[in-house]
Structure 1
Amino acid sequence: MSVDRLLPTAEARELVRLAADVADKVLDPIVDEHEKSETYPGEVFGILGETGLLTLPHPEEWGGGGQPYEVYLQVLEELAARWAAVAVAVSVHVLSCHPLITFGTDEQKSTWLPDMLSGHKVGAYSLSEPQAGSDAAALACKATATDGGYRINGAKAWITHGGIADFYSLFARTSAGGQGISCFLVEKDTKGLSFGSPEQKMGLHAVPTTTAHYDDAFLPAERRIGTEGQGLQIAFSALDSGRLGIAAVAVGLAQAALDEAVAYAQERTTFGRKIIDHQGLAFLLADMAAAVDSARATYLDAARRRDAGLPYSRNASVAKLVATDAAMKVTTDAVQVLGGYGYTRDYRVERYMREAKITQIFEGTNQIQRLVIGRSLSATGGTK
């Protein structure tokens, strides 16, 4: 992967170079075997934690990297270009830390954040349910107040790192009505918490996605993050950032597919010429490159607005929509460039195509992103 990046500081440039080096030396050599065998690369997350790449955008005072989102997302893109499943898991870990960092008390932060931000513990985000995906207000998992805390009952679905993560940012209903959702921080060894078998997915095979089951699991009161009933506010504030993470992952996937397609087109010959020298193929590659560059610019624009403290919710939805649609098209076109070889597992482009599809679905489907963007236009008259 070769991208000339505009980065704000020398430190940022060094971080992205570090990420690229780790990705090349640690991720790239083992990704094919782990994806084929569907085995979890636990050692990879330990290395990412040791190098400080797991928690780049979080505050330094609690052990984070203190980096702008603009920098963190470009690191995430480098990881995704080698191994999308790992990059998604890193994005989810950063997302799962957001509730505590943004809404937790100083006492809660000092108790739990050091392990979370050092990479000693990997997190998961537990919002969706079997019957409540895009409609977060319809959550049915219940948190019933009891002496000293809450009893949790219900199921949560589509959890990246489910069953493996050390902690879960859980959203559960504490009272009736659409706003009666609260946020909790759950340890993996909580009594009454169990996990179903991993989903049999189209892609991202090396990192499991599971359902969690809560059977009268007790959580002490100090495990609630924010005030009771503040859960949806917490969830939606985290999702804006999470959508930028998925946008960066999608661009990394698309860039990897473009690189492989170009390399193949420079080697393969037909009618006495490299196929890249045939105008029809060159134009296809040009459209792929334009899609990748445009998607990257879109997520960086949203990230810079976030870093500047400006409203960026609509921009995050635009970035997620544009980048993931681009990834689906670019990876599909990469298969086309390779022809019959692209349809085999001898080349990575077929895997890129399978992995790109999920980016259009999680962190809010692209239909939901269009709904968010449309509502913003209705409310603002088109201004940002």
Structure 2
Amino acid sequence: MSVSAVTGSPINQLDPLFQTVIAPQADQLDQDPQMLHKAFQWLGSHHLLGLKASPDWGGQAWQSQAIWEYTEQLARYSGALVFLQSQHQRCVQELSNSGNLALKERYLRAAIAGHIGLGVGFSHLRRPQQPVMAEQTAGGYRFNGRVPWVTGFGIFDHWMLAALLPDGRAVFVLASFQGSDPVLSFSQPMQLAALGSTQTVTATLRNWVAPAELVLDVKPAGWMQQADLGYPLTHNCFALGCAQGGLDILAGARSSALPTIDQIYQRLKAEVAQCRRETYGTLGNPSPERLRLRAWAINLAVRCGHGAVIVSRGAANFAGHPAQRVYREALAFSVSGQNNDVMNASLERLMDPSGSVGEMPCAHSGMGH
């Protein structure tokens, strides 16, 4: 079944696919990089790896709401897969928008089809102290330092490296995962508590030079901060999908002998729906409420994941239990794409659970905070 010709929201066709193909192997995808790689390629075979890319290159050019719905629903079934493909989608988007025609012709169609995978290494641009810097040199750019987080080692073929130049601009280039030498080397995959199968490593660069033909873009000073202002709620899709994964476990545990489980399920389900409505309501209308909504979604993912653990009893302590996986994913999505503003909003939500998001009216949930 292909969804390449879907118009409008594709999620009605995608959800049955995710339920039958992704959900049954979610725990294996969380643990096995090879299975995760196959699932990633499956997304490519169903035309789901170039959602923002131009149709001229095989992309889908979906609107933001469809992409948010897709991301949220995939996160419901596999945090590892949704995170891995999001890294690839981000690089594909930059490659699609790049003015480097030769680079696009070499990689873009293959990336959209899932024949090659592309990672990213630019989240460090949010940091006040930069761990890697670049300088222009004859015919290209020279990089020195360490990129703390690069996902997809052993799964992806290339990755998008970004670093600040002395004037504050950010240069983006395409680097290879293949091989390891003194000028560009990688750590062993990190032993992460969540999403470990995505194979996240640290890259160390010692006078590594990227020739001009590998340059994707040079962005103006302050680009990352402006991007965060414009798109902070993209990450809500991960948290809301994760929350739904917790709700699925709660739903399966309901019984007439324990009516409290259904009560908490109904309350959390209504609150997730309200957070979703408000989040999607910001599309095309940037809202000053974005940090409140981000903190709320994170809080819901953790609460739904915790609820899944509680109703699963002692079995949830097994590493391969679905509730254990969902709860770990909630922790990971609590900090993905985080900046200081998001951290502060999340901490304020912890200090004042009702005040930060506003009390849910009883008409929505049937229960007050």
Task: Select 1:283's aligned residue among 260, 263, 267.
Answer: 263
Partner of 1:173: 164
The alignment status of 1:219 with 2:210, answered yes or no, reads: yes
By how many angstroms is 1:338 displaced?
A: 3.2
By how many angstroms is 1:155 displaced?
A: 0.9
Aligned residue for 1:29, secondary structure, equals: helix
By how many angstroms is 1:34 displaced?
A: 4.0
By how many angstroms is 1:134 displaced?
A: 4.2
Alignment length (residue pairs): 341
Q: 1:365 to 1:120 in 2, by over 3 A?
A: same
Whole-Å separation in 2 of the counterparts to 1:155 and 1:345: 31
Whole-Å separation in 1 of the counterparts to 2:117 and 2:227: 17
4+ residue runs of structure 1 moved beyond 6 angstroms? Answer: none
By how many angstroms is 1:36 displaced?
A: 4.3
Partner of 1:89: 84
The alignment status of 1:23 with 2:6, answered yes or no, reads: no
Q: 1:237 to 1:290 in 2, by over 3 A?
A: same
- For 2:161, the aligned partner's letter is L
Task: Select 2:49's aligned residue among 46, 49, 54.
Answer: 54
Partner of 1:261: 250
Task: Select 2:329's aligned residue among 350, 355, 363.
Answer: 355
Structure 1 segment 132-143 matched on structure 2, within 5 A: 134-135=126-127, 137-143=128-134
By how many angstroms is 1:44 displaced?
A: 1.1
Which segment drifts farther, 192-201 or 238-247? Answer: 238-247
Whole-Å separation in 1 of the counterparts to 2:148 and 2:126: 12
By how many angstroms is 1:65 displaced?
A: 0.6
The alignment status of 1:11 with 2:7, answered yes or no, reads: yes
The alignment status of 1:193 with 2:184, answered yes or no, reads: yes
Aligned residues: percent identity? 22
- For 1:203, the aligned partner's letter is A
- Judge conservation of contact 1:335–1:342 (CA < 8 Å) in 2: yes
Partner of 1:379: none
- For 1:230, the aligned partner's letter is P
Unaligned runs of 5+ in 2: 349-369
Relative to the length of structure 2, the TM-score reads: 0.80
Partner of 1:152: 143
Which segment drifts farther, 153-162 or 98-107? Answer: 98-107
Partner of 1:327: 301
Q: 1:365 to 1:358 in 2, by over 3 A?
A: farther
Whole-Å separation in 2 of the counterparts to 1:370 and 1:200: 27
Whole-Å separation in 1 of the counterparts to 2:67 and 2:198: 21
Structure 1, residues 158-192: CA drift from partner, whole Å, max 9, x if none?
A: 2222453222221113215xx24322222334863
Partner of 1:270: none
Q: 1:111 to 1:353 in 2, by over 3 A?
A: same
C-alpha RMSD of the superposition: 3.1
Unaligned runs of 5+ in 1: 1-8, 267-272, 375-384
Q: 1:96 to 1:291 in 2, by over 3 A?
A: farther
Which segment drifts farther, 40-49 or 330-339? Answer: 330-339
- For 2:241, the aligned partner's letter is G
Structure 1, residues 49-77: CA drift from partner, whole Å, max 9, x if none?
A: 11111222332123211111111121122
- Judge conservation of contact 2:33–2:155 (CA < 8 Å) in 1: no
By how many angstroms is 1:328 displaced?
A: 0.9
By how many angstroms is 1:147 displaced?
A: 2.0
Partner of 2:195: 204
Whole-Å separation in 1 of the counterparts to 2:41 and 2:289: 33
Whole-Å separation in 1 of the counterparts to 2:130 and 2:263: 47
The alignment status of 1:248 with 2:237, answered yes or no, reads: yes
Partner of 1:368: 342
Q: 1:242 to 1:24 in 2, by over 3 A?
A: farther
Aligned residue for 2:69, secondary structure, equals: helix
Whole-Å separation in 1 of the counterparts to 2:140 and 2:320: 54
Whole-Å separation in 2 of the counterparts to 1:116 and 1:21: 25
Whole-Å separation in 1 of the counterparts to 2:68 and 2:272: 15
Aligned residue for 1:299, secondary structure, equals: helix
Relative to the length of structure 1, the TM-score reads: 0.77
Q: 1:322 to 1:366 in 2, by over 3 A?
A: farther
Whole-Å separation in 2 of the counterparts to 1:84 and 1:371: 23
Q: 1:350 to 1:360 in 2, by over 3 A?
A: same
Whole-Å separation in 2 of the counterparts to 1:122 and 1:243: 25
- Judge conservation of contact 1:124–1:159 (CA < 8 Å) in 2: yes
By how many angstroms is 1:218 displaced?
A: 2.0
